[in-house]
Amino acid sequence: MLTRRKILAAAAIVCTSAAINAGQIKVETADISLILDGEPGGKLDLCYFGEKLDDTAEFEYAWHITQPDTPEEYGTQLYPAYGGRFFLNPALKITHADGVMTTELVYQSHGQRAIDANRTETIVTLRDKLYDATVDLRFVAYNTENVITQEVTFGHNEPGEVTIENIASSYLTLKASNYYLTHFHGTWAREMQLVEECLTPGVKVIESKKGMRTTQSDNSAFMVSLNAPAQEYSGEVYAGALAWTGNYKMSFELDEAGLLHIIGGINPFASEIKLGAGEDFTTPAMVLTYSNQGRSSISHNLHDWTRRYNLAHGNEERPIVLNSWEGAYFTYDENVIKRMIDDAAEFGVEMFVLDDGWFGNKFPRNGDNAGLGDWQVNKKKLPHGIGALADYAVSKGLKFGIWIEPEMVNPDSELAHKHPEWIVRSGNRDLLPMRNQQLLDLTNPEVQDFVFGVFDGIMSMSPNISYVKWDANRHVDNAGSTYLAADRQSHFWYEYIKGLYSVYERIRQKYPDVEIQLCSAGGGRIDFGALKYHDEFWTSDNTNALDRLSIQYSTNLFFPAIATAAHVSTSPNHQTGMMLPLKFRFDVAMTGRLGMELQPSQLNGEEKEFASRAVVLYKQLRPVIQLGDLYRLDSPYDNDGWCANMYVTKNRGEAVVFAFSTTYHNRTQSYSIKLHGLDPDKHYLLEEVNTISGNSNYVGSGKVYSGEFLMKAGLLLPIGGAYTSMVLHLVEQ
């Protein structure tokens, strides 16, 4: 949100002495160094970003000797603006109050302070050579997690308005022989499809202009491997992810000098920001990390950081959920839901979630074409209300949760008829429905109050509501606001997301203990900006276990298993029609936060017995899966028909291995895997678990192995049939 400036006082607070205003600047974690160089009135250079350097004095001569004649446009400025001789894509482009379109930023000062024992804040202030305009670069280094976040604040005191046309959250320059970019694309029911490509000269752009559901196509997270394709346990890899739920743009520009310039931030599309004198603008944070040990360490860094700093209740085990959606859809009444609760309790499920369809009276929610926005309980379906269902669930030993979609409205609703001015619209142009619904204008404080009131009203229905699934099933088109002034319409994209975050903040202040799922037609909002207000995300509406292997593999490169909602659904699958064994479906779902998305009464006797045992087993394995380190042993993208991963506790005393055969292998083939993350000097009892019969026929089950043997020699697993799987549990002896 645009704020009135206080002359960027934060920078002054952290400056501790005049001596800190010149020379080398270090932003460091336990294993990473980011080294900057700035002299008053000169450019701010990025000297180094990589493995921890204890002695950096050599930069005083080595850096300047090796780069004396490099043209400015091919240099390594940390945050270059459009102006001077810089001709690449800049981090900042503004038009000054007098119409001048160029900016030349030079180093002014910097300061550092310890936020706490694990976090250090560094603020570097740049200023324009001629104008009263400044840029603060704010870094927070998370020591143990080896993560560095960067955000940028621009402000000015020019006599008139300054227009921001482009402002990045970070600008990173890398030097190598080759650069391999890992990024993710997809659509509804096919999110987070991994692609790796060697970058060539020019600009590669990953972006979204959807306004919301921005990760339903391309995700704003990326990895760059130097000199060779990314490996799991070796090689230099950089990773970044924008903590923002709106439009974004990531560009990767390979210049003539062989340098790769990575720019990430809010998408400048139709998003000019006008600032009056004394106002400032702050970007979302870019989350950065580095590893010289491949993708695995990148994931460990980000998972640890997420659980500790960017996820609600990040170190508390998540419950097993039964969601009503695929089991009942819109067609249910009180008795149907009670029977589902009874069945959930019989299985040992810990949370029942009532999905869409429970609200609306004048416009009853019996499909997706009506009722959205009218958050009163449907008296015909649920005559005794939500409170009675929540109480019933608790009486059966379950927690109770409920679905909402408070940012949206159906044209056939009391809300749309009462407040047409609250709907996002572009002047008098036609409203374009998507899933029969429109978007409420969260730039408007009245709408923010309404959305908060929806959540608040839901929670007031019963003290036994402990979980909310927050959905968002469309994106923005024909953007515009009846609330914003005519000359501030381009602020819409930014102000909508800030309005959403403001609502999230209010909810978390009042309801710090409620569990909230981040959902957006599946995985349309899987980003660090929204995630910090939530406990988990709905990974994809596609619950087909075979597809989930690749979706969850890519998602878990950045986001931890504890936040990855993964549900066992019926066969044939409702999205794909594929038929898969129940064990395979359970084994895939157990690699995340286990849940069920079916009508339990449709399972037969043997299936019920297996499902009940699997639920009991998951409760035993849950601390390892949700709180341990993830090691990817074999990728579903390798096309050999096998994949596997494992989870290891921090003390390396316990581990769980999941292995899958995704196609038919002939009888002469066995699956050979080497484990990771164990202590080579420890010995582990290995047992096959989650078998159909409850007993294992695997010759290696019940044996004790050294960690060294398991990691160097590995195991041969007897899975080769299509859609077969194994789960192995290892415990230190």
Task: Return the active site residues.
Answer: 471, 541
- Is the bond into 560 cis (omega within 30 degrees of 0)? no
Determine the Cα–Cα distance for residues 63 and 173; give it in Å rounded to an integer. Answer: 15
Rg from Cα positions in the chain: 27
Determine the Cα–Cα distance for residues 455 and 236; give it in Å rounded to an integer. Answer: 45
Determine the Cα–Cα distance for residues 322 and 357; give it in Å rounded to an integer. Answer: 16
CA distances from 192 to 216, 528, 555, 576, 588 (A): 8, 15, 6, 17, 16
Maximal CA-CA distance, the chain: 80
Determine the Cα–Cα distance for residues 277 and 133; give it in Å rounded to an integer. Answer: 10
Which residue(s) pair with 673 in the sheet? 715
| Other C-beta atoms lying within 10 Å of the C-beta of residue 511 | 16
Q: Is 243 buried (19+), middle (13-18) or exposed (0-12) by CB count in 10 A?
A: buried
Helices 445-460/492-510 angle, 10° precision = 30
Residue 8 contacts residue 134 (beta carbons within 8 Å): yes
Q: What does the H/E/C string look like for 109-144? A: EEEEEECCCCEEEEEEEEEECCCCEEEEEEEEEECC
Helices 605-627/334-347 angle, 10° precision = 70
CB within 8 Å of 160: residues ≥ 6 apart: 97, 98, 276, 277
654's tokens: 């316990």
Determine the Cα–Cα distance for residues 154 and 140; give it in Å rounded to an integer. Answer: 18
171's tokens: 């600008």
Q: Is 69 buried (19+), middle (13-18) or exposed (0-12) by CB count in 10 A?
A: exposed
The residue type at 131: Y
